[in-house]
Amino acid sequence: MSNNNPLAVVILAAGKGTRMKSDKPKVMHELLGLPMINWVLNSVEQLNPDRTIIVIGQGMDDLAAAVAPHETVVQITQDGTGSALKSAMGALQDFDGDILVLLGDTPLISLETMSGLISARYQCAQTGISVLGMYLDNPYGYGRLLIDNEGTLQDIREEKDASAEEKQVNIVNTGAFCMDATKVNDWLGELVNVNASGEYYITDIPEIAARKGVKTSVAVTNNPKEVQGCNTRIHLSELEQYAQVKLREKFMNEGVVMQDPSSVYLHHDTKISSGVLIEPNVYFGKDVSVGANVHIKAFCHFEGANIGDNTIIGPFARLRPGSEIGKEVRIGNFVEIKKSQIGDRSKISHLGYVGDCTMGKDVNFSCGAITVNYDGFDKHQTVIGDGTMIGSNVNLVAPVNLGNGTFIAAGSTITADVPPNALSVERGKAKTIEGWAAAYRKRKGG
């Protein structure tokens, strides 16, 4: 059978963060810096569904904001997945098509897996439901899929309600379903909560449908990690590690070299071009873009930074939000840059701070030099022209503007603008008192 039906996606996301020991809704906990619910939505959007509805709990305004502009409905009483789906059906009363039901705490489900589940709904004319299953060596805690000899699902038995024989079944429910929308309300109307948890389960629907002559087919994912649920901080860390591995592999397959991939931590929106070399222990936070053939040395930390081609950074360098690094720049050890533009071929080789600065091309910013950008109340700008030489241990007290080609003598504190091609020196006159040290030690008995 072919599938030309409209598609609505319902994502069940009303769970609290109780087992996470958190006040946040469970699906708002992050993988690679992105809430779990947004991972699911990113996959769902690839299906181009006609409707997407997220079922949330009462008071979950932050969750509603995170999924906007998608529609949300509130599950007033959190008494099971069946009750959650019923909450969504109020917004789908006139919908004639397929309803894909997903769990908001299974963030890594893929387009391929969802498409296979939808296709399974059309196994034959009598098939009104498909359920996504997976094989597990240790199925403890999961609902078992009880399948007859013809491959049709007869029932889903939750762990708490399963017999000893049923607990031996190792194909389990993942929580994802595709259903004929025209029949869902009838099936939901027959749900009862006679079970160990006293809840209304979606998993009871296949048995209800079977009594009415409607079959349930089973689609199986070959990758259990895609549909691994997340109920605890330990589960979250396991998913984080898996997602990190997949993203690292993606970049390496695109030509990025990672000397120790397990020590490189990425954000979901990290962008790294081909030819980049990354040494161990590098952290990419939110909104970082790395150009081609960049060399990132060990122990660097980046957030909100764009790094130009053929630049060398580190070791032990930190780029904070607003850092715009040009091409062929050299940023060395123990350098911190914040909200600054660094021109092509400029060098900040070691022990420096550059904040709220526009630095031109071919600047040499020597060891120990800093921009003094904060007066205790406001931040101020430093402008450094092309080809400027900043000596060691220089303080540039903003606001200050250094013209092109200026030289700033080592040890100077610059508080006024410097014209192009000038030398600026600010040092107190040295005073030497001969014999003072020896006399001092003698007085102290040294």
The full length of the chain comes to 446
- pLDDT for the residue 1: 44
pLDDT in tens, 303-362: 999 999 999 999 999 999 999 999 999 999 999 999 999 999 999 999 999 999 999 999
* Sign, Cα dihedral of 54, 55, 61, 63: negative
What's the angle, vertex CA 171, arms to CA 167 and CA 176, rounded to 5?
115
Q: Residues 325, 342: contact at Cβ < 8 Å?
A: yes
**300 contacts 316 by C-beta, under 8 angstroms:** yes
Q: For residues 384 and 331, what is the distance between their CA atoms, to the nearest angstrom?
A: 16
> What is residue 65's three-state secondary structure?
helix
* Res 430: pLDDT: 83
DSSP sequence for 385-399: -TT-EEPTT-EEESS
DSSP state of 379: B
Q: State whether CATH 2.60.40.10 applies to domain 7-227.
A: no
Q: Where in the chain are all domains bearing CATH 3.90.550.10?
A: 7-227
Query: Which pLDDT value is given to residue 180?
Result: 95
| pLDDT tens per residue across span 101-160 | 999 999 999 999 999 999 999 988 889 999 999 999 888 888 899 998 888 898 888 888
Please tell me what DSSP assigns to residue 28: G
Q: Which residue has 């999924």 as its token pair?
A: 67
Fold of 233-424: UDP N-Acetylglucosamine Acyltransferase; domain 1 (2.160.10)
**d(Cα 88, Cα 279) in Å, to the nearest integer?**
49
pLDDT of amino acid 78: 84
Q: What does the pLDDT read at residue 250?
A: 98
Q: Is the peptide bond before 315 cis (omega within 30 degrees of 0)?
A: yes
CA distance 171 to 158: 12
Greatest Cα-to-Cα distance within the chain, rounded to the nearest angstrom: 108
pTM of the model: 0.89
Nearest to 257 by CA among 304, 297, 287, 302: 297
Listed in sequence order, the residues at least 6 apart from 379 whose beta carbon sits closer than 8 Å to its beta carbon are 355, 356, 373, 398
Which 8-state DSSP code applies to residue 18? T
Instruction: For residue 299, give the DSSP letter.
Output: S
Q: Which of 13-27, 289-303, 406-420 has the lowest mean pLDDT?
A: 13-27
Cα-based distances in Å from 157 to 199, 204, 208, 211: 14, 8, 13, 17
pLDDT at 2: 47
User: Beta partners for 11?
Assistant: 54, 102
In DSSP terms, which residues pair with 35 in a beta bridge? 30
- Range(s) of the chain covered by CATH 2.160.10.10: 233-424
* pLDDT tens string 248-292: 999 999 999 999 999 999 999 999 999 999 999 999 999 999 999
Asked if residue 21 has pLDDT above 70, the reply is: yes
To 5 degrees, how large is the angle CA 272–CA 276–CA 281?
85
**How many other C-beta atoms lie within 10 A of the C-beta of residue 85?**
27
Q: Point out the residues that are catalytic.
A: 350
Kindly report, residue by residue over 57-75, the tens digit of the pLDDT: 999 999 999 999 999 999 9
Q: Which of 444, 425, 424 is nearest to 436 (CA)?
A: 444
Residue corresponding to tokens 């690292």: 248
163 CB neighbour count, 10 Å cutoff: 9
Instruction: Output the average pLDDT for the chain.
Output: 94
Question: What pLDDT is stored for residue 241 in this prediction?
Answer: 96
Residue 358 neighbours by CB distance under 10 Å: 15
Q: Which helix (H) or strand (E) holds 312?
A: strand 312-313
Contact 409, 423 (CB under 8 A): yes
Give 355's strand partners.
338
- Total Cβ atoms within 10 A of residue 254: 12
Closest CA to 9 of 45, 36, 37, 38: 45
Locate 185 and state its tokens: 């309300």
With cut-offs at 50, 70 and 90, classify the pLDDT of residue 366.
very high
| pLDDT at residue 349, as a whole number | 94
Mention every residue, 6+ apart, whose C-beta is less than 8 A from residue 362: 343, 344, 345, 346, 386, 387
